[in-house]
Structure 1
Amino acid sequence: MAVLFAACSTTPTTTSLLDQTRADFMAAQSTPSVAANAPLEFKAASDALDRANAAAAKKDSLDEIDKLAYLAKQKIATAQEVAKQKQAENEMANAGRQRDEIRLEARTAEANQAKSQANLAKADADAARAQADAAANSARDEAAKNAALQQQLADLQAKQTDRGLVITLNDVLFNVDRAELSAEGMRTVQKMADVLLQEPQSAVLIEGFTDSTGSADHNLQLSQRRAEAVRNALIGLGVKSDKIATRGYGEAFPVASNADAGSRQLNRRVEIVLSQNGAPIANRH
């Protein structure tokens, strides 16, 4: 009995309020947000509970123990309330940040879309400018080409007729009474080829003529051979053969009388007729 009495006398005194306070403290302690969001308040609650536990250990009066336990319970409640408020504030802050992030993402998406549209508009403008520049360059090139062609035709003394453009090769471009082109004749034919290569749609008719000296049969054959010589020279310079026709007229269709040497020289000629826009070349009448 003495031993039992001694054991009971060393057991710390407690009260139901202190037990509730200890339970409240354990619940608060097991909630991470309390220590995280209300560290000072939770420390104050812990210190107050330690004082109540110390009073119980010293077997102070029940009133004193309950008084200290009540104070500790209030501080635990305060810590929990502060933690709740801080948690709510944090959640509101997080919601605000999320809202700001969403708004920023939306503005960024709008900015990116606007930038993309601006880039597309710039690309369209650049393409249009490039197309305009290309058209302008093409027009300048075409104008330069036409100017060069007109100059070449002027150098060849081309004349516009109802049958088309006519370029005349004089007798001096051939060897005497022969169908071979002289060196000067080849240079003239080269100029002619340059023109024809720039006018791929033009049909070409090469017509040969002689004066009235000699037999009609000889003159007809000579005029044909000279027309063929010019045709062969043009083909050798790159002009397509299927666009060139020849015809020898001999002493027919003179452009001057055959009464003197000067007139007869004018009649000894080769005329090259260029059709316009691929139109057929009309026959001589």
Structure 2
Amino acid sequence: MKKATYTTLPGLLAMAALLAACSSAPTTTSLLDQTRGDYMAAQSNPMVSTYAPREWRDASAALEAANAAATRQDDKEQVDKLAYLAKQKIATAQEVAKQKAAEADVANAGKQRDELRLEARTQQADQATARAQAAQAAAEAAKAQAQNAEMATRDAQARAAALEVQLADLAAKKTERGMIITLGDVLFGTDKADLTSNGINTANKLAEVLKNNPQRTVLIEGFTDSTGSAAHNLELSQRRAESVRNALLGQGIARDRIATRGYGVAYPAAGNDTAANRQLNRRVEIVLSEDNTAIPARR
């Protein structure tokens, strides 16, 4: 039988030389280096190219993909995923070669071999088959894991982009406590806690944000100006916060994702010396948490 030959090693060496010449070093990891070493060892074994040509081509292609990712300076996690897949395919090629070599020995064994030696060879072939199947299964699992991780990353990026658009529509501002959406005094009835139609529309938009981001919660804080008694202002600020909460509950948001707090005249946004400033102080601020993260207390 004429042995098959492959020229992937020169290509790999040329690629290594090209990488060394680049002014910007490629991404490298210990796993990728180990995989390259495994490849060199497998290539020096003539049984691999003779008995497992298809598996060897798959392994070569997988390593080339990992090297290409390193050359592109992909992140190390992606390089490692591809390197791991290549490592498993190299192992698969080696195990298949062992299996087929063992099977060839058994097939070519003459009548002079006793039953004991034939049984030993057959057992060796079975063990090689089992290892090859295990290596193949591990390679497929690694491939599926990489695909799932990529899909999860894309989904997260899509959600983040959609959230950014929604928060921009709500004029949200980023703070150290999280994104804050402010509902001004004009979104409530005068000296009342009832939301106007515009206020309800804003609350509905916020409900959509919470539906699309189930790992987030909100803290709704009410504030007033200094006009009127402190008791009245505290009670009004709490009722306005609860009015927003009730609007969210009406849109199907779970109660345990919503907290409210009325502060009355505390934490003014501006002085209470002019009508315009007092209007700024009459507000409800809605703090949106990060994923699975508690909202920091107001300082």
TM-score, length of structure 2 as denominator length: 0.50
Q: Distance in 1 between matches of 2:147 and 2:259?
A: 41
Correspondences of 1:218-229 after superposition (within 5 Å):
218-229=232-243
- The 1:163/1:132 distance shift into structure 2, 3 A limit, reads closer
Q: Which runs of 5+ in 1 are unaligned?
A: 1-95
Tell whether 2:269 aligns with 1:255: yes
> Are 1:278 and 2:297 an aligned pair?
no
8 A Cα contact 1:164 1:281, kept in partner: no
Following TM superposition, the consecutive aligned residue runs of length 4 or more in structure 1 with deviations greater than 6 angstroms are: 96-99, 103-116
Deviation at 1:134, TM superposition (A): 0.7
Deviation at 1:232, TM superposition (A): 1.6
- Please give the root-mean-square deviation of Cα atoms over the aligned residues, in Å: 3.5
**2:170 equivalent in structure 1:** 156
Counterpart amino acid of 2:215? P
Distance 2:177 2:138 in 1: 48
Give the Å deviation of 1:111.
7.7
Q: CA deviation at 1:168?
A: 0.9
Select the structure of larger CA radius of gyration. 1
Mark the runs of 5 or more structure 2 residues left unpaired by the alignment. Answer: 1-109
Equivalent pair of 1:275/1:281 in contact (CA under 8 Å): no
In structure 1, what residue type is equivalent to 2:198? E
Counterpart CA distance in 2 for 1:237 and 1:134 is: 32
Measure how far apart 1:137 and its partner are.
0.4
The aligned residue for residue 146 of structure 2 is 132
> How far did residue 128 of structure 1 move?
1.7
1:1-285 to 2 correspondences below 5 Å: 118-197=132-211, 198=213, 200=215, 202=217, 204-276=218-290, 277-283=293-299
Q: Is the 8 A contact 2:188 2:199 kept in 1?
A: yes
SS at match of 1:246: strand
Task: Report how many residues are paired.
Answer: 187
Q: 1:28 matched to which residue of 2?
A: none
Conservation of the 8 A alpha-carbon contact between 2:184 and 2:280? yes
1:18-68 per-position Cα deviation (integer Å, ceiling 9, x unaligned) = xxxxxxxxxxxxxxxxxxxxxxxxxxxxxxxxxxxxxxxxxxxxxxxxxxx
Identity rate of aligned residues, in percent?
A: 60
